[in-house]
Structure 1
């Protein structure tokens, strides 16, 4: 084995360990933010629960806002399905995507993080800015890709994709703000199908 290969192999456990630490930090931070809110969340408590030093936490994330942004980025990547595996015609792909968005946003932890943003976004404009970026990146842009794949012009695809996402998440948002049980898989798909039908064909198609 060459010296270079030996160094590469020796470096892998350290890289794997660092990634594991980062994943624990994100997991514990999500729990802390969800239960305590942004203002009251303690970076020291997060570090203790993740079994890392405060210094290690700050090496990864210099402040609470950076850690919260990393948490939303992680959550956003869970929401976005693997687009190449969306099959069928445009209607079917949009229904699948809308259903998946709802499914990923209804678990209790996701709902608590969303309520945090609604509750504290007025006091921390940075929270709204971060949330807006994640919304664009992980919810709107995949729909832009779907629509442009169907030949829609780039200039039109973004506002239309945004409208679709807003429609698709309307029932989730209603239950988030006003209360109500999480939707079942069947309800999510039925809602996604209705929204997609109206989106593509207009309200007359449902009469």
Structure 2
């Protein structure tokens, strides 16, 4: 007879294995959905196609999400969270001057846009197909990144490092400039990711009339 403690010990590895399988399945589904949305667009991609790309049954896919809109939300919410986390990490590692911190944030933003080009493309082109509630949720997540840049610009103005009279517009202009990289960047092009990120950091400082 197996004691209660022994039974629990046996169940723990099994539970961890189930959790690991669930994580792998989720990652596979999100990767398949991203590829389908990027290649075919929201309306062109079907749940059946996404299930086939993820190598799961259609019924299993519907166990994970209720609709194709929910899949698009999951893909874009993960991208927004990762981008914000990358930017915050860059700020923590930057030198303390506001010019260095703003430059680090811009470089991190550009690097993310280049390295996660498909997600950025889908966010810019397919967000409009979500219903109002889901779209508002994702816009709110995107706004957190914008507020971070607005705070950096405002801090630079208070310190006298930046002299723009329109901090909100300047922050949005910087983010729009960074997002534009996804339109023309090619991995086999002459510029490295790091080189592009550093150039755009300098462009941002010039826009703000920084030191």
**TM-score band, normalised by shorter chain:** 0.7 to 0.9
1:162–1:63: structure 2 CA closer, same or farther, 3 Å change rule?
Answer: farther
TM-score normalised by the chain length of structure 2: 0.71
- Structure 1 residue 74 corresponds to structure 2 residue 78: yes
1:9–1:92: structure 2 CA closer, same or farther, 3 Å change rule?
Answer: same
Give the C-alpha shift of residue 194 in structure 1: 3.3
In 1, distance between residues paired with 2:196 and 2:32?
A: 31
Give the match for residue 88 of structure 2. 83
1:149–1:83: structure 2 CA closer, same or farther, 3 Å change rule?
Answer: farther
Give the match for residue 161 of structure 2. none
Give the C-alpha shift of residue 92 in structure 1: 1.3
Structure 1 gap ranges (5+): 153-159
1:92–1:113: structure 2 CA closer, same or farther, 3 Å change rule?
Answer: same
Over aligned residues, Cα RMSD in angstroms?
Answer: 3.3
Give the C-alpha shift of residue 116 in structure 1: 2.1
Give the match for residue 132 of structure 1. 139
Deviations 1:75-125 (A, max 9, x none): 2233231635422122212211111111211354235314523xx72x545
Give the C-alpha shift of residue 17 in structure 1: 0.1
TM-score normalised by the chain length of structure 1: 0.73
In 2, distance between residues paired with 1:53 and 1:33?
A: 19
1:66–1:132: structure 2 CA closer, same or farther, 3 Å change rule?
Answer: same
> Considering only CA atoms, is the larger Rg found in Structure 1 or Structure 2?
2
* 8 Å Cα contact 1:91/1:197 also seen in 2: no
Q: SS state of the match for residue 2, structure 1? A: helix
Structure 1 counterpart of 2:121, from 109, 112, 116: 112
How do 1:47-58 residues align onto structure 2 when only pairs under 5 Å count?
47-58=51-62
